[in-house]
Amino acid sequence: MDISDILSVTMGDIVEQEVDAIVNAANNSLLGGGGVDGAIHYAAGPQLLEECRTLGGCPTGEARITKGYLLPATWVIHTVGPIWKGGNFMEEKLLTDAYRNSLYLAEEHGIRSIAFPGISIGAYGFPVDRASGLAVGTVIEHLRSGSELEDVRLICFNENAYDSYSKALYEILEHI
Ligand code: AR6
């Protein structure tokens, strides 16, 4: 298996991705918000919020799945990244958990293609260079442990994020 055939870093809007599942960087309520969460709810339509109301929220680092409604994606995997509080509050473990639990949930639902935003790097303030290394490292570890995923996209919304996630991917691929 060649990781670089499966994992990619691209600039784009996650709501436009034609994949089995997109991941939402949500909050503990799962009842919507700003940033990518707001964009996903807007594009999916009000039925997404109706289904989210039935879920009873989501602890930080865990993930929940709903349908994609008006999105091109069939599913939305909602995960909650940590709020950055300086680095001593399990932020790195919780961000790793958010990626890992989203990937597990995807495998459980037979999902083959998935797109992630930069979880926690917006309103939640996680330093981009640390977040990108953790994101890429966690996805690669998952892909190497018997995954059925064929297409994993890390979608960046600005050039700064794009540079950081591409660099992390390049550096990790060079060392495996
Ligand atoms: N497609 C891809 N990436 C996007 C899009 C988009 N359409 N829109 C924004 N981003 P954030 P967080 C990028 O703040 O840090 C919400 O209010 C954005 O540029 O959306 O995990 C939730 O309800 C940034 O790089 O998520 C929570 O309360 C990245 O997505 C809180 O924000 C994540 O930024 C979660 O904060």
- In this structure, the residues whose C-beta lies within 6 A of any atom of ligand 1 are 13-15, 25-27, 33-37, 39, 81, 117-124, 155, 157-158, 161
Helix (H) or strand (E) holding 76: strand 75-79
Distances 87 to 90, 100, 150, 155 between C-alpha atoms, Å = 7, 19, 33, 24
pTM for the structure as a whole? 0.98
> What was the pLDDT predicted at 99?
99
Among 18, 27, 36, which is best to mutate for testing ligand 1, by the most ligand atoms less than 8 A from CB? 36
Residue 128 Cα to ligand 1 midpoint, Å, equals: 12
Residue 176 pLDDT greater than 90, yes or no: no
Mean pLDDT, the chain, integer: 98
Q: What's the order of all strands across the beta sheet hosting 7-11?
A: 7-11, 151-156, 113-116, 21-25, 75-79, 63-67
Instruction: Sketch the domain layout of the chain as residue ranges.
Output: 7-175
Q: State mean pLDDT over 40-50.
A: 98
Structure tokens at 145: 């442990």
Angle, in degrees to the nearest 10, between helices 159-174 and 128-143 = 50
> What was the pLDDT predicted at 71?
99
Residue 59 pLDDT greater than 90, yes or no: yes
Nearest CA to ligand 1 atom 11: 122
DSSP state of 175: T
Q: Which residue among the candidates 2, 5, 37, 151 is catalytic per the annotation?
A: 37
Residue 25 Cα to ligand 1 midpoint, Å, equals: 6
Each residue's pLDDT tens digit, 89-118: 999 999 999 999 999 999 999 999 999 999
Nearest CA to ligand 1 atom 5: 36
CATH of domain 7-175: 3.40.220.10
The interface pTM score, or ipTM, of the predicted complex is 0.99
Q: Let me know if 37 is a catalytic residue.
A: yes
- The helix/strand/coil state of 57 is coil
